[in-house]
Amino acid sequence: MSETTMYTVSSSPHIRAKDTTQSIMRDVIIGLLPAAIAGVYFFKLKALLVILVSVISCVASEYIWQKAAKQKNTTGDLSAVVTGLLLAFCLPASVPLWIPVIGGIFAIIIVKQFFGGIGQNIMNPALAARAFLLASWPVLMTTWTLDGVTTATPLAILKGKEVTGAVAPSLMNVFIGHVGGSIGETSALALLIGGAYLLYKHVIDWRIPVTFIGTTFVITAIVGRAPNPFYELFTGGLMLGAIFMATDYATSPITPKGKIIFGVGCGVLTSIIRILGGYPEGVCYSIIIMNLFVPLIERWTTPKIFGKVK
């Protein structure tokens, strides 16, 4: 009598990856390290303090909330650390340290935990917190310093929001990051290095950042505000937003077509706000707006099940 082979029958998925939330977040943190180092290098000790306070506030907010709500402690998945880093990267180094504390509480409790925790939030927590802080304390959130001197951002100069005669920084300074701006957004070089790492590790897909950046490039090049069409790609939060925020798993589409639509939409909105809006930068609001359209994008682009009859 032949030996009987027993098979285990289980529900899908049958193909699994070894990735965990913690391992993915760890890779994102590694990808953010070049920008963090550049931010501390250009904006000195105050930038480091803002980063540390922001990360601690986000982790502490998640721990305290889950303790009070008698929920499982998830601070070990490192998602709160990523939110803290991204929030700090959106802040000027000159902000008082209570700003990242309030931002961290808002990002974690209001935007993340109120909607059910990781994977349930409808918009990027760090960007939502930045929008909240900007609406509440606009002067503090738009005061930029560099080498101890208050300065203007390159986008504000292009927008004509500064004193007439202000000279925009060189393309090289903008690319390296020696310009006024938020802690983690000024160095396009550092952000591209981090983005290359995430692409190598397959943490992010190329479609959203490429279509986001490409769409912005085409529109702003046609308008031609800057002498070099690449200038606007390296200014403001475009690289930070396209690589690290628009690709957030919980708030971006999962279908290939959906990612392209999402990236193009972000690029169009960013360009419209930069060119026609009253605010020099448009990355934050463009991503938040497109986050809200993700359910519709998913509905339009999800492939039909083979053999399904409507």
pLDDT at residue 178 tops 70: yes
Among 86, 79, 92, residue whose Cα is nearest residue 127: 86
pLDDT band (50, 70, 90) for residue 166: low
Rounded mean pLDDT, 100-119: 92
pLDDT at residue 194 tops 70: yes
Domain 21-301 has CATH 1.10.3430: yes
Helix (H) or strand (E) holding 151: strand 149-151
Query: pLDDT at position 143, please?
Result: 87
135-155 confidence digits (pLDDT tens): 999 999 988 888 777 788 888
Rounded mean pLDDT, 96-111: 96
Top-confidence residue, 244 or 144: 244
Query: pLDDT at position 20, please?
Result: 85
Query: pLDDT at position 19, please?
Result: 73
Among 259, 123, 227, 130, residue whose Cα is nearest residue 185: 130
pLDDT band (50, 70, 90) for residue 16: low
Amino acid identity, position 89: F
Q: What is the 3-state secondary structure (H, E, C) of 40-108?
A: HHHHHHHHHHHHHHHHHHHHHHHHHHHHHCCCCCCHHHCHHHHHHHHHHHCCCCCCCCHHHHHHHHHHH
32-86 confidence digits (pLDDT tens): 999 999 999 999 999 999 999 999 999 999 999 999 988 888 888 999 999 999 9
Phi and psi at residue 185, to the nearest 5°: -105, -10
Describe the crossing of helices 256-276 and 207-223 by its angle, rounded to 10 degrees: 30
pTM: 0.90
Q: How far is CA 224 from the centre of its chain?
A: 26
196-217 confidence digits (pLDDT tens): 999 999 999 999 999 999 999 9
Query: pLDDT at position 2, please?
Result: 53
